[in-house]
Structure 1
Amino acid sequence: MINVTIEMNAAATILKLLGDKTRLTMVKMLDTNDYCVCEFVEIFQTSQPAISQHIRKLKNAGLVKETRRGQWIIYSLNKDTEYYPLLQSVLQQLPNQDDRLKALERQGLRISCE
Structure 2
Amino acid sequence: MQARLNRPTTFSPSCGRAWGSRALRPGGGCGAGVRKPDRRIFELGAEAAGRSLADGGWMIGDHPEYDIAGGAAAGLRTVWLRRGRPWPESLPIRPTRTADDCATAILDLL
Larger radius of gyration: 1
Global fold match (TM > 0.5):
no
TM-score (norm 1): 0.27
TM-score (norm 2): 0.28
